[in-house]
A and B are shown apart, each in its own frame.
Chain A
């Protein structure tokens, strides 16, 4: 599989010619990406402008915060490259030569692979993040609404969605949290499993605490208590998160009612120490408790974690989880790459049959046509015959036609060597004077 990756896969030179030109977080800095990026209103206009330009048959714009890409099916590569680059340069108001330093170009199988990898989140800034697929679906539906995609881009995008879905379901690439607050939730879930019957006390109404609280609340926790030195902020956060504000002065007495404690205050002293938690555990009959301390300096004595059935994590521990998770994502990504390879192969094979089928039909038709014409001419020359003899002659002619076309068809269908096959295809097309069907301009 890995060896195949860099080898061009034969996709044909006739009905489709995929071209992808774009830039992403690797090739361009944020301020540059901002210039080039399209918003939801600009995309349809851009697509309309683009579709009228030379060389382009189908097109769509993929624009997210980390990438701007134009994916198109073109009938003349050089023209299309010119059109797209000019279009991007005009749109983003930068000189074409400057733009070119940031752009990458992929055609045919590389373009297919790139789209598959992007959709599967293998090309994302944060590997495996889950939003990219939705963003691409969104871009695709905008292109569908603007009528700038046709059979081939439709096929390509559907195949990309399938590849992305397989990557999601067959690898664990998206399972690992890579932000501190979601890592905290993941850790808590490794202890409590289902959080629906668990209650939380959050000490401190800061930004970080709120993010963590929101992640926790998403899991459907039972009750949320909020406390803060300034009761005002506590009340606001409690309102926002459907919780209850409790006074800071005696928050210790609320500890016994909860299973999860998150501290995130600016206090420079320890708010919860070992002896408090030891008493607490007797009161709670040794039911497990988790303390998450995301404040710096720490608000919870780390020795709390030494008590049986008590788990205590500080910001560094959460960092370790994130690191370990990123590592796991990398491992899952290597499996994902193999899945993408398989899907690219499958899609290319499908394209190949799509392309070969009309040629096969035309070759067969042409041979049949010649044979029939000769038969009719012969019949006219020799005058009226017995129906049985005519039938015999007709059968002979169609057998000849079949025997002539068979090896050609087999060669077209089963050709393994991509270079020879394209030459063969050209030769056969020239010999039998088959016509290229007209490209439908999509407007």
Chain B
């Protein structure tokens, strides 16, 4: 079954390579090839996860390499959706490095026959972990598009019409991608927290225990909640919102990284 993962990595890396050439040389042809290669990688990635799930008899999300693999898949999925919706040539050069790195790390630290800790043997895990990774993936897009917005806005304000000005998408597109992914991420994260609480009630007998990961995710959720509120009230637009989306992503990284307390397994 590792064949699929191997093929996936090869196509992802080839796709990354082509999208970087397309970005630096500004050649549409390479961007198209990159997307085609990446799409093949994505299909193979999907097949890998399905076959892995069938082999193990459960959704493959119970150890770190599996989780990284699923996370990479979530980002790939978002990338495919964003690419077909917005046709941003530069996006691949910013998203594909992470996808490729995640799959490669997953392959390197691959563990066979990892038994599930008894505590995790619950239907909740599949939902809880899936929406959590979807939220991470969506917020990663919010971060990248916010970053692109800030760079492009700086170029436009400073009237520096050089390398990045030509290559980055328009502010409007960055803004739209940022908000769309923010909404998706926010809804997924809310679902993650709610499902986590129910599962905690089942496993440990209480909804909330202020474990570090729970606290961090609540803070992150709060940051994005404020951002959405200001957006809806039309006070924050453009640059300021983009800055907050970057702060939110730092918080996301902390949330992702904190794996002690009750969340020791991930």
Q: Which chain A positions have C-beta within 8 A of B238?
A: 286, 288, 308-309
Does residue A305 face the partner (Cβ distance < 8 Å to B)? Answer: yes
A-B interface, 5 closest residue pairs, ranked by CB to CB distance from nearest = A193-B172, A285-B234, A193-B170, A324-B161, A286-B237
Q: By the criterion CB–CB under 8 Å, are B159 and A309 in contact?
A: no
Number of A-B contacts (CB under 8 A): 67
Q: Which chain A positions have C-beta within 8 A of B171?
A: 190-193, 288
Q: Which chain B positions have C-beta within 8 A of A232?
A: none
Mark B235-246 against chain A: 1 for CB-CB distance below 8 A, else 0.
111111000000
Q: By the criterion CB–CB under 8 Å, are A190 and B27 in contact?
A: no
Does residue B202 face the partner (Cβ distance < 8 Å to A)? Answer: no
List which B64-81 residues lie within 8 A (CB) of chain A. none
Contacting B161 at CB < 8 Å: which of A172, A287, A308, A321? A321
**Contacts A170-B28, A172-B28, A191-B172; A311 near B156 (Cβ below 8 A):** yes
List 6 contacting pairs A-B, 8 Å CB cutoff, sorted by A.
Answer: A191-B156, A193-B172, A285-B237, A286-B234, A308-B239, A328-B26
How many residues from A make CB contacts under 8 Å with B? 29
* Bound CA–CA A171/B239 (angstroms): 32
* Bound CA–CA A191/B155 (angstroms): 11
Q: Which chain A positions have C-beta within 8 A of B165?
A: 190, 324
Interface bracket on B: 20 to 34
List which B200-245 residues lie within 8 A (CB) of chain A. 234-240
Q: By the criterion CB–CB under 8 Å, are A308 and B27 in contact?
A: no
Does residue B248 face the partner (Cβ distance < 8 Å to A)? Answer: no
List B residues at the A interface (Cβ < 8 Å).
25-29, 152, 156-157, 159, 161-162, 165-166, 169-173, 234-240
Does residue A154 face the partner (Cβ distance < 8 Å to B)? Answer: no
* Bound CA–CA A305/B237 (angstroms): 16
Report the nearest B residue to A310, measured CB to CB.
B157
Q: By the criterion CB–CB under 8 Å, are B159 and A320 in contact?
A: yes
Q: By the criterion CB–CB under 8 Å, are A192 and B156 in contact?
A: no
Report the nearest B residue to A314, measured CB to CB.
B159
Q: Which chain A positions have C-beta within 8 A of B27?
A: 170-172, 335
Q: By the criterion CB–CB under 8 Å, are A320 and B173 in contact?
A: no
Does residue A169 face the partner (Cβ distance < 8 Å to B)? Answer: yes
Does residue A355 face the partner (Cβ distance < 8 Å to B)? Answer: no
Smallest beta-carbon distance A10→chain B, Å: 31
Smallest beta-carbon distance B85→chain A, Å: 13
**Contacts A320-B159, A324-B161; A193 near B169 (Cβ below 8 A):** yes
Smallest beta-carbon distance A22→chain B, Å: 32
List A residues at the B interface (Cβ < 8 Å).
169-172, 176, 187, 189-194, 285-288, 305, 308-309, 311, 313, 317, 320-321, 324-325, 328, 332, 335
Report the nearest B residue to A284, measured CB to CB.
B234
Q: By the criterion CB–CB under 8 Å, are B237 and A193 in contact?
A: no
* Bound CA–CA A288/B239 (angstroms): 11
Smallest beta-carbon distance B200→chain A, Å: 41
Q: Which chain A positions have C-beta within 8 A of B170?
A: 189-193
Q: Which chain A positions have C-beta within 8 A of B234?
A: 285-286
Report the nearest B residue to A188, measured CB to CB.
B170
The winner among A193, A311, A321, A325 for most chain B CB atoms within 10 A is: A193
Q: Which chain A positions have C-beta within 8 A of B25?
A: 335
Q: By the criterion CB–CB under 8 Å, are B166 and A328 in contact?
A: yes
Report the nearest A residue to B176, measured CB to CB.
A193
Q: Which chain A positions have C-beta within 8 A of B166?
A: 176, 324, 328
Smallest beta-carbon distance A8→chain B, Å: 31
Q: Which chain B positions have C-beta within 8 A of A194?
A: 172
* Bound CA–CA A309/B239 (angstroms): 8
* Bound CA–CA A432/B238 (angstroms): 80
**Contacts A189-B170, A190-B171, A286-B235; A313 near B159 (Cβ below 8 A):** yes
Smallest beta-carbon distance B222→chain A, Å: 23
* Bound CA–CA A408/B214 (angstroms): 83
Smallest beta-carbon distance A349→chain B, Å: 23
Q: By the criterion CB–CB under 8 Å, are B28 and A287 in contact?
A: no
Smallest beta-carbon distance B145→chain A, Å: 13
- What 17 additional pairs, Cβ within 8 angstroms, besides A170-B27, A311-B157? A169-B28, A170-B29, A171-B27, A187-B156, A189-B170, A190-B170, A191-B156, A192-B172, A193-B170, A193-B172, A194-B172, A285-B235, A288-B237, A305-B157, A309-B239, A311-B156, A328-B166
